[in-house]
Amino acid sequence: MQGFSHPLIEQAQALLHKYYGYSSFRSGQVPLIGQILQGQDTLGIMPTGGGKSICYQVPALLFQGLTLVISPLISLMKDQVDGLQRLGIAATYVNSSLSFPEVKERLQKAAQGWYKLIYVAPERLESPSFRTLLQTLPIAQVAVDEAHCVSQWGHDFRPSYGAIAPMIAELPYRPVVSAFTATATTEVTHDIIRLLGLRQVQPYITGFNRENLTFSVLRGENKRDFIFRYLSDHLDESGIIYGSTRKEVDQLADFLSRKGFSVAPYHAGLSDEERNRNQEMFLYDDVKVMVASNAFGMGIDKSNVRFVIHHNMPKNMEAYYQEAGRAGRDGEPSACILLFSPQDILVQKFLIEQSPMSLERKSYEYKKLQAMIDYCYTPQCLRHYILRYFGEKASGHCDDCSNCLDDRESVDVTIEAQKIFSCVKRMGERFGTSMVASVLKGSKSKKVMNQGFDKLSTYNIMSEYKEKEIVDLINLFCAEGYLVMTEGQYPVLQVAPRAMPVLRGQEKVYQKVQKRQAQKKESDPSLFEALRTLRKEISQKEQIPPYIIFHDSTLREMAQS
């Protein structure tokens, strides 16, 4: 970034040191602060924990007038302001917890120049009389925190954010407006610029790379076993485990505390009192691990969280990175682990499906979900996947994510890819993953037979695979851009241009597999047959209910040893 060797930045640096005790700005903070100090409207897109607050607080210290901070976190306003006051910064707040005389007194002092920053809840701005009072203040900057709340596309839409632009328009002169969020989708970014009336602003995406965080996606783990082992190996560490439902959170917290770990649950089903108590215990390290639903964490600034484990895949990358980003705020090495199972996809699709959203909104959510699924399946560097998703330029390896550290071997799956791509084509690119997999597997199910797919040349050509293995391959090929999943309620598979060289035999496709899996033992055919005969005999002799009779695949596995 050029243009920011401005003398103002040096002054800002001095204030950072004087008030906060930090030696330097993070690289992403400098251009944002530089822009604000030059009086330009600014939209800073920075991840959770990236350090957005300082981007408007330090300019606030340098401006003659007052900085009005709009923040939706009413419950944390007092803490935030107390924190600033402890640093020696003149700040106050105004929200519904105060009486009208108190509000008036604070605003009067603000008019007299007592404060550098005043925090306001957006709901206040809906009151015309409050807005009239604001017009008497010397407001130099309006800083909009969590700016995605203005957008219906954002995950925390707050209608009262709509009052911000009119409030600014009513001020006797226009202050510089800075807005901050961790959400980087184009829809939200456009809404922020439009609905807040930002002028001549280039959204600035920065700081998404959190060097001290390592990323892992684990597939096919027994989730509970993994968590048990992980906690046993990290007994002294503080961490968060995110579960997807209240029930799951309760059960997991229960299981872990019965195993003797220091854990507490947190979800919307608990009483306020219980939630606050558990949160406090976690903040003060009286409890090591918080098992939580996604209700936990907004605005929480606990610095020494060493790991964030997701028991399930979240609904999109924004949600994931926000939650995972709660690890390692102190800059120390910390782990972000996502435990993935294909079941998670179904759950997320179900949640979108049964929600009362518009069709347009649903297809938007599907698009974001697909990017999350791709994250779980990509064999590429996870860190760089995240950075690209959030709009930063990135390619190559980080050498510390689970994909970069992966020592599995690459297996040539070109033939499988060709079979799958041609099946998708033959079926007219009108069907979803499970239907395509069923056809390749040679399923005799009604849905396959009714369509006459048993007559297709690609029917039954992958019969040696389990249907789940075919589904995994299809997901891999989607993540790698060979196949495209359309958006909407009934997503269908299509063959992407990238698949053409593979179909023509000009390019190969590889999949990573566990070494031990690759060397999986063949089952002994005669032993397998013997087991089958035995099964038949048993089931005839003793009236065994069909559901406990061993399946062929089980017998095959037994015949391996």
CA trace torsion 149, 78, 309, 409 (10° rounding): 60
Work out how close the CB of 280 gets to Mg ion at its nearest, in angstroms, rounded to a whole number: 20
48, interface contact from Mg ion, Zn ion, ligand ADP, none, CB < 5-8 Å by kind: ligand ADP
SS3 488: coil
- By CB under 5 A, what part of segment 366-395 binds Zn ion? 381, 383
> If binding is defined by CB under 5 A, does position 398 make contact with Zn ion?
yes
| Among the listed residues 11, 13, 38, 53, the single contact to ligand ADP using CB under 6 A | 53
383, interface contact from Mg ion, Zn ion, ligand ADP, none, CB < 5-8 Å by kind: Zn ion
DSSP assignment string, 361-424: HHHHHHHHHHHHHHHHH--S-HHHHHHHHTT----S--SSSTTTT--PEEEE-HHHHHHHHHHH
- By CB under 6 A, what part of segment 267-306 binds ligand ADP? 301
| Among the listed residues 26, 155, 234, 388, the single contact to ligand ADP using CB under 6 A | 26
Pick the piece of the chain touching ligand ADP (CB under 6 A) from 51-59, 256-264, 516-524, 532-540: 51-59
Annotate each residue in 182-221 with x if it binds Mg ion (CB under 5 A) or - if it does not, as one string. ----------------------------------------
The residue among 314 and 325 lying less far from ligand ADP, judged by its C-beta, is: 325
Work out how close the CB of 38 gets to ligand ADP at its nearest, in angstroms, rounded to a whole number: 20
Would residue 201 be called left, alpha or beta, if left means φ above 0 and alpha means ψ between -120 and 50 degrees? beta
CA–CA gap between residue 218 and residue 203 (Å, rounded): 34
How many Cβ atoms sit within 10 Å of the Cβ of residue 48? Answer: 21
| Among the listed residues 34, 37, 41, 48, the single contact to ligand ADP using CB under 6 A | 48
Chain residue whose CB lies nearest Mg ion: 52
CA–CA gap between residue 492 and residue 158 (Å, rounded): 34
- Are the C-beta atoms of residues 9 and 33 closer than 8 Å to each other? yes
Work out how close the CB of 396 gets to Zn ion at its nearest, in angstroms, rounded to a whole number: 8
- By CB under 6 A, what part of segment 379-398 binds ligand ADP? none
| Among the listed residues 50, 154, 239, 243, the single contact to ligand ADP using CB under 6 A | 50
| Among the listed residues 28, 31, 34, 51, the single contact to ligand ADP using CB under 6 A | 51
The residue among 325 and 491 lying less far from Mg ion, judged by its C-beta, is: 325
At 51, list the tokens: 């350090």
Specify the DSSP class assigned to residue 333: -
Chain residue whose CB lies nearest ligand ADP: 51
Which residue from 66, 48, 58 is spatially nearest to 20, judged by alpha carbons? 58
Pick the piece of the chain touching ligand ADP (CB under 6 A) from 43-51, 407-415, 460-468, 479-487: 43-51
**Looking at 243-292, which runs of residues are DSSP E strands?**
263-266, 289-292
22, interface contact from Zn ion, ligand ADP, Mg ion, none, CB < 5-8 Å by kind: ligand ADP
| Among the listed residues 25, 119, 215, 421, the single contact to ligand ADP using CB under 6 A | 25
- Are the C-beta atoms of residues 320 and 372 closer than 8 Å to each other? yes
Pick the piece of the chain touching ligand ADP (CB under 6 A) from 18-26, 70-78, 453-461, 463-471: 18-26
Residue 437: alpha-carbon gap to chain centroid: 29
Residue found by looking up tokens 């009208």 in the block = 100
Specify the DSSP class assigned to residue 522: P
Output phi, psi for 143, to 5 deg.
Answer: -105, 120
DSSP assignment string, 232-255: HHTTT-EEEEE-SSHHHHHHHHHH
25, interface contact from Zn ion, ligand ADP, Mg ion, none, CB < 5-8 Å by kind: ligand ADP
**Looking at 19-104, which runs of residues are DSSP E strands?**
42-45, 66-70, 91-94
Pick the piece of the chain touching Mg ion (CB under 5 A) from 52-60, 105-113, 199-207, 308-316: 52-60
SS3 313: coil
- By CB under 6 A, what part of segment 317-346 binds ligand ADP? 329
The residue among 51 and 491 lying less far from ligand ADP, judged by its C-beta, is: 51
26, interface contact from ligand ADP, Mg ion, Zn ion, none, CB < 5-8 Å by kind: ligand ADP
CA–CA gap between residue 14 and residue 21 (Å, rounded): 10
> If binding is defined by CB under 5 A, does position 401 make contact with Zn ion?
yes
β partners of residue 120: 70, 94
The residue among 166 and 396 lying less far from Zn ion, judged by its C-beta, is: 396
> If binding is defined by CB under 6 A, does position 49 make contact with ligand ADP?
yes
> If binding is defined by CB under 6 A, does position 22 make contact with ligand ADP?
yes
| Among the listed residues 12, 30, 54, 417, the single contact to ligand ADP using CB under 6 A | 54
509, interface contact from Mg ion, ligand ADP, Zn ion, none, CB < 5-8 Å by kind: none
Exposure of 86 by Cβ count < 10 A (0-12 exposed, 13-18 middle, 19+ buried)?
A: exposed
| Among the listed residues 404, 456, 496, 558, the single contact to Zn ion using CB under 5 A | 404
Pick the piece of the chain touching ligand ADP (CB under 6 A) from 22-30, 66-74, 462-470, 495-503: 22-30
Which residue from 31, 329, 527 is spatially nearest to 12, judged by alpha carbons? 31
The residue among 307 and 477 lying less far from ligand ADP, judged by its C-beta, is: 307
Which residue from 301, 282, 363, 284 is spatially nearest to 79, judged by alpha carbons? 301
Which residue from 79, 166, 78 is spatially nearest to 127, judged by alpha carbons? 166
Specify the DSSP class assigned to residue 220: S
Work out how close the CB of 44 gets to ligand ADP at its nearest, in angstroms, rounded to a whole number: 9
Residues lying near ligand ADP in the complex (CB under 6 A) are found at: 22, 25-26, 29, 46, 48-54, 301, 329
Binding positions for Zn ion, rule: CB under 5 A: 381, 383, 398, 401, 404
| Binding residues vs Mg ion (CB under 5 A) | 52
